[in-house]
Each structure stands twice: as C-alpha cells, then as structure tokens.
Amino acid sequence: MTTDTLAAPASKRSALWAYPFRPFFIAVGLYAILAVGGWLGVLLLGWPLNGKFLNMQWHSHEMLFGFVPAAIAGFLLTAMCNWTRSAPLAGAKLQALFGLWLAGRAAMWLAGTLPHWLILVIDCAFLFAVAVYAGRVIVGSGNYRNLPLVAVVTTMALANLLFHAGWWNNDFALVRRVELGMVMLIVLLMVIIGGRITPAFTRNWLMRSGRAPVTVKTRPVVETLSVSATALLVLTMLAGAPAPINGAVAAVAGVANAVRVIGWRGWQTHSDALVWILHAAYAWIPLGLLLLAANQLFGKPLSTVWLHALGPGAMAVLIVAVMTRVTVGHTGRELKLASGGIGIYALIMAAAVVRLVTALGWLPWRGGLLLSSAAWFAAFALFLIVYTPILIAPRADGRPG
C-alpha cells in the first residue's frame, strides 16, 4: 500500500470522515476493549447482555462479526482506492456505513430486549453493504483481480445470516459450524491480503535499505497451495466435514503457509518494526492451522488452542500491524512506527501468548484469562492514545484525505 490516494478536498468535511480507515480504526480500538470487557462481565459477573445467546455464542459473534469486520472495512475500503484509483467513501456516505456497523453492535448488546428478527436485519446489514459497495467500485474500475476479496466478504455476510438462523432455531450445531467457518474465512482473507502486502513491503524496505529484494522468495506453487488449501478448509469446516478430512486439509494449509512465511525471510527486517510485525502476525497462521490439524486428527486435548492461535494471535496481531502502518502511511507521515508503538506490539503479542498458554492448561484458567485480557486492554488503549490524534487530524503533508 502506498500513500498516493485520490480524495475529495479535505475542506469539505472533517478529517475523521475523509477516509474509511479513520473512523473504523478508532472503532476497532474502542470495540476491542468494550467487547472483551462485556464478555468478561457476562462470563464472570453475570451481566445480562447476551439475551438468548449462550455466553460463548455472544462473545464469538461480537469478535468475528463485530470487531474483525470493522478492521476489514477500514482496510479494504481504503486499499481499494489505490487498486482502482477511485475516490474514497467519505462524508455522509461513510457516516451511513459506519452507522450500520454501530447499529449492529447496539442490537447485539440489546439482544435480551429486542425481537430476533430485528436483531438479524440490523446486524446483517453491514457486511452486505460493504460487499455491495466494494464490488460495485471494483467491477466498475475493471479491477477484477480483487473480486475474490469481495466474494470472501459476501460469504462472511451469508455466514452471519446462518449464525442468526441457527440461533433462531436453537440449532447450536449450525451456530458452531458457522463460528468455525467464519474463523477460517477470516484466515483466508489474511492469507490473501497478508500474502500480498507482507512480501511486497519487505522487498520495498530492503530496496530502501540498499539490500537485495530478491532474497524474499515467493514461489508460485507455494503461493497457490497456501491460498487454495486454506479456501478448501473454509468449505470443509462450513460443511461440517469429518474430522480426518478437516485435519488433513488443515495440515496441508499449515505446512504451505509455514513454508510461505519462512520464504519471506522476515528476520532481515528486524530493525523496522512496521515490517517485522507483519511477519510475526502471519507466523501465527500456520501455527494455528497445524494446531487445528492436531485437534482434528488427535482429538480433544487441543480443542480450543488452535482457536486462540488464530484469534488473539493471527487476527488481532495482524489487525494491529496493519492499522499502525496504514494510519501513518495514509496521513502523509513518515513510514515509521509512532512513539509507543513497540509497547502496542509487545502487549498484543503478550495477550495472544498468555491466552494460548492458558488454553493449554499451563496457567490457571481464571488467572490466565484475566492476565491475557489485561494485556489486550492495554494494547488497544495504547493504540487509541497514540493513534487517535493522528486519525482525527488532517494529513501532515496538506494533501486531501
């Protein structure tokens, strides 16, 4: 991603609503704290936020269909301006889309008081709106290379419908299948986008540093297998395939993605945190996939470990990595980590590691959960403290956007 963008004059609207990444990245930081805090309240204090949802259903829904989609919208709707050379969604239209996301979150927090049909309509509108808007812009520009991303977001929107259908009919097996399928859809999106930006940014950094970018290896066979095996795993998980099939596909996807990230040689970028964090985030993906393979092939002892490797690990770390980079890159600032950024990375990685260790049973469940949550809260609070002033301010170079 570059800082070259097309935008309407900044004088026509406040900086906050000049580009999708601005309000959505702030929302990601705030909702990361609010959603996990709410879940702890439901889990430990008995707060009545979840209505007819089971505790874990409410938590998983708000992380998978609330927290992550805000980050997806912020990144995708910003990046596609570069891909298509189109003006960004801004002003009142951006406010309307953001309002859909916010309404969905409010509906889920009021799940105990609203009729389910209304929750369904409000909550499902956002992802469909993102898919339709992104699809229209990408097709209109002839940028068909990025249509698979629209297909993934559309499938996510359909998955949300299935989640609500399962809840409505007390079909908890369907709800669980959708949850696991949605995890894999997000992983697929990370494999596609992470596989595009991480080696590209690594090569760019090596060139700026006067070093040979050819050391970053992207092998066509490995690239294809990484994406296709992960996509197949989405289908098998959504379809509720037998465990041995899921395990075999996850093993192939895990090995392929491990070979992929090793080939990018992220250790060369140890002096630039904005680059190496992308490698660190991506490395959680093969770890999670291989843990999933072990779970499916060998059973219960690893039943939730893989979820925490892919959730607090891959998803959260990659979201933080992308937000910290896009925020400076698209506001006309020098492409370097803001002061305090290392603390954000250390805290979010700590939250992921502690949650994984707790899931393995190496820490007491309650203590590990609280320790991981404390690191999580601190990571996103620090992100908001450091990056909100940048996100609400005009571009440093005086350009629009």
Q: What is the largest CA-CA distance in the chain?
A: 61
Q: Where does the pLDDT of residue 332 fall: very low under 50, low under 70, confident under 90, or very high at 90 and above? A: very high
Determine which helix (DSSP H) or strand (DSSP E) holds 371, and give its type and residue range: helix 365-391
Q: Would you say residue 294 lies in a domain?
A: no
**Given this model, what pLDDT does residue 302 score?**
57
Helix intervals (H) in 85-216? 91-109, 116-141, 147-168, 172-208
**Given this model, what pLDDT does residue 215 score?**
85
Cα separation, 14 vs 19, in Å, equals 10
The answer to whether residue 4 scores a pLDDT higher than 50 is no
165-183 pLDDT, tens per residue? 998 898 989 999 999 999 9
Q: Would you say residue 147 lies in a domain?
A: yes
Q: Would you say residue 345 lies in a domain?
A: no
- 385 is written with which tokens? 């403290």
89-133 pLDDT, tens per residue? 999 999 999 999 999 999 999 988 889 999 999 999 999 999 999
Please name which of 215, 304, 300, 213 lies closest in space to residue 263, comparing C-alpha atoms: 215
Q: Flag the least confident range among 144-153, 274-283, 297-306, 348-357.
A: 297-306
**Given this model, what pLDDT does residue 369 score?**
95
The answer to whether residue 141 scores a pLDDT higher than 80 is yes
Q: Where does the pLDDT of residue 301 fall: very low under 50, low under 70, confident under 90, or very high at 90 and above? A: low
Domain ranges, residue 36: 15-170
Residue 2, helix vs strand vs coil: coil
Cα separation, 117 vs 123, in Å, equals 10
226-255 pLDDT, tens per residue? 999 999 999 999 888 999 999 999 999 999
Cα separation, 62 vs 102, in Å, equals 12
Q: Would you say residue 114 lies in a domain?
A: yes
pTM > 0.85 = yes
Q: Would you say residue 83 lies in a domain?
A: yes
Distance of CA 297 to the CA centre of its chain: 27
Alpha carbon distances (Å) from 41 to 30, 37, 52, 316? 16, 6, 16, 21
Q: Where does the pLDDT of residue 20 fall: very low under 50, low under 70, confident under 90, or very high at 90 and above? A: very high
Please name which of 306, 318, 217 lies closest in space to residue 277, comparing C-alpha atoms: 318
Cα separation, 182 vs 62, in Å, equals 12
The answer to whether residue 303 scores a pLDDT higher than 80 is no
Q: Where does the pLDDT of residue 51 fall: very low under 50, low under 70, confident under 90, or very high at 90 and above? A: low
Percent of the chain with pLDDT over 90: 81
Helix intervals (H) in 240-364? 243-263, 273-298, 305-308, 316-329, 341-359
The answer to whether 58 and 47 are in contact (CB under 8 A) is: no
- 368 is written with which tokens? 């590990």
**Given this model, what pLDDT does residue 153 score?**
97
Cα separation, 339 vs 351, in Å, equals 20
The answer to whether residue 7 scores a pLDDT higher than 50 is no
Q: Flag the least confident range among 51-55, 98-102, 332-336.
A: 51-55
Query: What does pLDDT average to over the chain?
Result: 92
Q: Would you say residue 391 lies in a domain?
A: no
Q: Would you say residue 104 lies in a domain?
A: yes
- 304 is written with which tokens? 């939730």
- What is the length of the chain? 401
The answer to whether residue 50 scores a pLDDT higher than 70 is no
Q: Would you say residue 163 lies in a domain?
A: yes
**Given this model, what pLDDT does residue 96 score?**
98
**How many Cβ atoms sit within 10 Å of the Cβ of residue 389?**
10
Q: Average pLDDT for residues 304-309, to the nearest whole number?
A: 93
Q: Rank 9-13, 176-180, 267-271, 374-378 by mean pLDDT and report only the highest.
A: 374-378
The answer to whether 28 and 74 are in contact (CB under 8 A) is: yes
Cα separation, 96 vs 256, in Å, equals 40
Q: Flag the least confident range among 39-43, 276-280, 302-306.
A: 302-306
Question: Structural domain tally of the chain?
Answer: 1
**Given this model, what pLDDT does residue 57 score?**
86
